[in-house]
Chains A and B, each alone.
Chain A
Amino acid sequence: MRKFTTIFSHIKSTKMNFSVSLLHRSSPFCPNQPPHPNFKNLTWQNRDSLLLFPLLCSRHFASTTAQNPSTLNALQDHYQAIDFPGGAVQFIPEMRFISESPKERIPCYRVLDDNGQPILGHNFVQVSKEVAVKMYTDMVTLRSMDTIFYEAQRQGRISFYVTAIGEEAINVASAAALAMDDVVFPQYREAGVLLWRGFTLQEFANQLFSNIYDYGKGRQMPAHYGSKKHNYFTVASTIATQISHAVGAAYSLKMDKKDACAVTYFGDGGSSEGDFHAALNFAAVLEAPVIFICRNNGWAISTPISDQFRSDGVVVKGQAYGVRSIRVDGNDALAIYSAIQAARQMAITEERPILIEALTYRVGHHTTSDDSTKYRPANEIEWWRVARDPVVRFRKWIEKHGWWNDMAESELINNLRQQLLHTIQEAEGVEKPPLADSFSDVYDVAPSNLREQEQWLKEIVRKQPQEYPTNISV
């Protein structure tokens, strides 16, 4: 039955689009189209030919032929089912609504319990000591980075900051499971992915301070990182727009036959945007090797999950689009690592999208512009910070293996603090980008109106320098 469902779903994606288009957008110049095929009237011979017609073939059914007796039998058995281009279905006499939510929620894949112990029946991809220690040190680095940079914003040294506190496992473990050739389309709470890929603390600080070494040339708010060298597309403030970009990029990788996939991150709030719907549907229909990673941290600024959707989270939405999906404990680095690695393998080898909902909790405020105690209880935050900490959980696991200890921890944290304070001092002392960078890169080459405006502005600044900041060279 599944095979037939898929076959006719393929017809649906072709025919229904045409029908809908005709119904809603009349085209005065479109020549008359023949009526839709009526499968009910097909002779047996014609019906058989459906299975051979190129439109119906896909790599899933390459072995299907008209001579396959089991196929003929299946057709006979399901005569009443082959009735709609929208899909082959069985008829029933009962009026039956499917429930809006199942009795049991989709379970959550986990490897380590809150004490860092592998749970009964654990099933995960083994990680080497080197990888595990780097995962841990990067998680600690990310948190230290967040702590120090957050404080820098409170001191007025940078204008804005967003932390990933509580979500370090999602960041670092997912990155660890990917390859450098995989292209990443972030939202904004995924700096740990870039960290794993080799972006230096100084490079982070340069962007935060918008100095001359910022690859973005000082044009975007702090924390909107991007790096071509690390295949990490530049962050934009818009929510969910990057999800469909990842699908287009994945399609490109597929056509180039690259051993790589596209990866995109978004929050639970982002899943409410229309772009989420567009991306998952396109990815399924166009068979794009992309991994959708949803960080369900329970909040979209002040909006709790109950005001965001009424489904069983985000993971159930994947199936509706025909996207293979899984729910994972986002505070479990090993579960994330294993799930992403499996997803990557499937996405690339089977040319299909995968959806991963990583459950976690946003321990920090949404951003430096937010005081989250105004809309959620402090003890709730504290409980997640103390009892469910992803960094602490993973530390317990690597310590149990003898790969980490208190001395290494102290040394790491002290070094990080010194490095971070140094990077801030360094970044703060460097000059800002030149004024010319305000006008370049709007297009590949500046058109005449932009050149005129640049000259006009420079003339004004030269005449009235006292009206402008002195730290930007003209």
Chain B
Amino acid sequence: MSTKFGRLVPLVFSKRGFSTSTSVQKGGGGSEEGLKSLNLCSAINQALHIALDSDPRSYVFGEDVSFGGVFRCTTGLADQFGKKRVFNTPLCEQGIVGFGIGLAAMGNRAIAEIQFADYIFPAFDQIVNEAAKFRYRSGNQFNCGGLTVRAPYGAVGHGGHYHSQSPEAFFCHVPGIKVVIPRSPRQAKGLLLSCIRDPNPVVFFEPKWLYRLAVEEVPEDDYMLPLSEAEVIRQGSDVTLVGWGAQLAIMEQACLDAEKEGISCELIDLKTLIPWDKETVESSVNKTGRLLVSHEAPITGGFGAEISASIVERCFSRLEAPVARICGLDTPFPLVFEPFYMPTKNKILDAIKSTVKY
């Protein structure tokens, strides 16, 4: 196993890294002191430690979380905070979310884990019909704002149909919940803490490809990054690129290659998909006149469509080319064809050139 991983890591690094580039870090632990090099799962773990430590009414539960979780995100939590606050549940996603709603409805912070985003669908009814509508339907007498559902998300190289999915678009059509996806360890820690403390139910997707591959300096103290705020992580003037999660790293590489061909790309990390930051994207497109959106999820019905339609509506007179969407294909996620399925750097670069040349 170690040999295989030893072979895998450099190969993976040569193909895709991760996006840590930043403009000014808002609230991301300003001090250069107190930094520690962490990967994504350790950053998540740190966020969970802080959440449990800072709020005695917070709980972490799900399948296999007690021993540390299958991705090790919950390592050490049960030992430190006790098995009444960090515990395994029976293997049942609708039960996990339903239980979490009840726990949150009583004023607790319920941090539920769904082992893979691919298995969140058994809980879809609880998330869509219950969690999202709990406050509204009661006239604000009750709410389950303390609920956060976190799940590993996105492609991983060999996950096939049920360990690779990016289901964010299913949830973006649901008023009442927030959908948040980080791109790096530093972002993940700050965003997850904001999700846990937000007074609304949140679905937090963790790009599992980056769990061990994304490493950067992360402030060790408690800090929160704002939700519903996109971030321009690369300034440019010819075309605006919008993405989230692990896909940003691919897009960033495409930007670098485009720059060698004289094209100046602006790259935006959306971070929160709903409610999303239209203003930041609009401002950027008004400057560049062009937009390209990219996500691993299938193109039809993907969240890129919402971004595209909204920007066309708002920036119609400014657009100099059709909005480009470079996404996963409209097939189930395949195993051996993953390299062809993914919206890879070459596909993005090709689209950047077509858009600018239009």
Contacts and interface: CB of A to CB of B under 8 A. Distances in A.
To the question of whether A and B form a pair in one complex, the answer is yes
A277 interface: yes
Interface string A109-144: 000000000000000000000000000000000000
Contacts of A444: 135, 143, 145, 199-200
Interface string A331-370: 0000000000000000000000000000000000000000
Nearest to A433: B139
Given A443-B176, A447-B275, A219 B139 contact: yes
Given A18-B64, A245-B98, A282-B89, A234 B138 contact: yes
A442 B158 CA distance: 39
B223 interface: no
Contacts of A250: 102
A447 to B, nearest CB: 4
A252 B56 CA distance: 12
Contact of A249 (B87, B105, B143, B199): B105
B107 A236 contact: no
B227 to A, nearest CB: 10
A263 to B, nearest CB: 12
Interface string A64-85: 0000000000000000000000
B176 to A, nearest CB: 5
A28 B213 CA distance: 13
Contacts of A243: 98
Interface string B103-145: 1111110100001100100100110011001011111111101
A372 to B, nearest CB: 27
Given A236-B130, A247-B99, A28 B142 contact: no
Which of B100, B141, B279 has most A Cβ within 10 Å? Answer: B141
A32 B104 contact: no
Interface in B198-225: 199-200, 208, 211-212
Contact of B91 (A17, A28, A215, A216): A17
Contacts of B122: 274
A226 B91 contact: no
Query: Which of A25, A31, A238 is the most central at the interface, judged by chain B CB atoms within 10 Å of its CB?
Result: A25
A234 B64 contact: no
A14 interface: yes
B341 interface: no
B256 interface: no
B338 to A, nearest CB: 13
B101 interface: yes
B142 A279 contact: no
Interface string A199-236: 00000000000000011110110001011100001101
A241 B98 contact: yes
A238 B105 contact: no
Interface in B32-77: 63-64, 66-67, 70-72
A271 interface: no
B228 A447 contact: yes
Nearest to B140: A441
A440 interface: yes
- Which range contains the number of B residues in contact with the other chain? 35 or more
A183 B142 CA distance: 12
B28 to A, nearest CB: 23
A246 B105 CA distance: 10
A216 B139 contact: yes
A21 B98 contact: no
A296 interface: no
A248 B87 contact: no
A448 B281 CA distance: 14
Contacts of B226: none
B90 interface: yes
Contacts of B133: 236
Interface string A428-468: 00000000000011111001111000000000000000000
A25 B137 contact: no
B175 A17 contact: no
Nearest to A243: B98
Given A27-B71, A234-B138, A252-B108, A448 B102 contact: no
B87 A286 contact: yes
Given A255-B84, A281-B95, A248 B158 contact: no
Interface string A265-284: 00000000011011101100
B94 interface: yes
Contacts of A20: 91
A262 B135 CA distance: 20
Contacts of B159: 28
A13 B89 CA distance: 9
Contacts of A238: 125, 129-130
A46 B72 CA distance: 29
Nearest to A217: B139
B309 interface: no
B95 A278 contact: yes
A30 interface: yes
A449 B275 contact: yes
B24 interface: no
Q: Which of B102, B104, B125, B212 has the most chain A CB atoms closer than 10 A to its own CB?
A: B102
Given A251-B103, A253-B106, A441-B139, A25 B94 contact: no
Interface string B175-191: 11010000000000000
A14 B136 CA distance: 38
A297 interface: no
A20 B88 CA distance: 13
A379 interface: no
User: Which of A21, A31, A443 gathers the greatest number of chain B CB atoms within 10 Å?
Assistant: A443
Given A216-B138, A442-B176, A17 B63 contact: yes
A224 to B, nearest CB: 7
14 contacts: A14-B88, A17-B90, A18-B67, A26-B163, A219-B139, A244-B101, A245-B101, A247-B98, A251-B102, A274-B94, A277-B92, A278-B95, A281-B92, A442-B135
Interface of A: 13-14, 17-18, 20-21, 25-32, 183, 185, 214-217, 219-220, 224, 226-228, 233-234, 236, 238, 241, 243-253, 255, 262, 274-275, 277-279, 281-282, 285-286, 440-444, 447-450
* Shortest 9 CB-CB contacts between residues of A and residues of B: A248-B102, A244-B98, A278-B95, A447-B275, A245-B102, A252-B106, A248-B103, A234-B138, A27-B70
Given A251-B103, A282-B90, A447-B228, 4 more contacts: A21-B91, A29-B211, A214-B139, A277-B95
